[in-house]
Amino acid sequence: MTNDQLRSYLGYYRDLGFEWIYRKPLVKPESVVIPSLPSLAPEQDSLEKIRADIGDCRRCRLHEKRTTIVFGSGNPAARLVFVGEGPGADEDQQGLPFVGRAGQLLTQMIDNTAAREGIPIQRSEVYICNVVKCRPPENRTPQPDEMEICGQFLYRQLMAIQPKAICALGATAMKAILNTKEGITRSRGKWYKWHDLPVMVTYHPSFLLRAYNQEAKREAWADLKTLLHFVYD
């Protein structure tokens, strides 16, 4: 393949919204190269167009056992977007993100923290979505290729909304958005950047449901307090 052919090939996938490509190593597995490509969203993109482009998605293996695609929910002009890992059983049945136990906790955290801090917003005024739009079997962590394929749609969602800030819920969302290998404990409560949009990292609500994570709960509520004041003050 000539350089011009390769450039045309990469440009085609860039225009489709792919951000990463993988080159198989010729000799040693440790020589894998993961170059970053500039992602492009269509002009005048919208959440409606993105959902239509997803269609009845069968681009990866996750479609095999899903019930429904969980695209996202909330205010399409939200100033704050929460990004989780992937749908669970309740979400897979209802087609909406964060409606199970973890989602109920997230709702309480948003509504109660906002009320306590005198910020007049509720969950319905933010936007919530996930890295992958189909439930991974047995709620396993999404595989890299699954996140890469769905990543083009997450990229377009965030670019279409253009929120004042993004909150990455948990390690999977953090790694997908920030392309980092840092651990969630070290990264939570800190500000990062994604395409010039501020990103706050905190724990996933499902992690907070575990009885022994009392300190993590306090930290997550503190993170949310900082996040809400940054966005809405």
Spell out the domains of the chain, with CATH numbers in brackets: 1-40 (no CATH), 43-232 (3.40.470.10)
Give the Cα separation of 129 and 171 in Å (integer): 15
Under the banding of pLDDT at 50, 70 and 90, the label for residue 24 is: very low
Per-residue pLDDT tens over the stretch 90-117: 999 999 999 999 999 999 999 999 999 9
**Helix H or strand E encompassing 74:** strand 73-74
168 and 178 Cβ atoms separated by less than 8 Å? yes
What gap in Å lies between CA 175 and CA 143, rounded to an integer?
A: 12
Handedness of CA 171, 173, 175, 178 (dihedral sign): negative
The set of residues, in sequence order, having a beta carbon less than 8 Å from that of 202 and lying 6+ positions away, is: 167, 168, 169, 188, 189, 219, 220, 223, 224, 227
Using pLDDT thresholds of 50, 70 and 90, give the confidence band for residue 11: low
Task: State pLDDT tens for residues 129-177.
Answer: 999 999 999 999 999 999 999 999 999 999 999 999 999 999 999 999 9
pLDDT exceeds 50 at position 126: yes
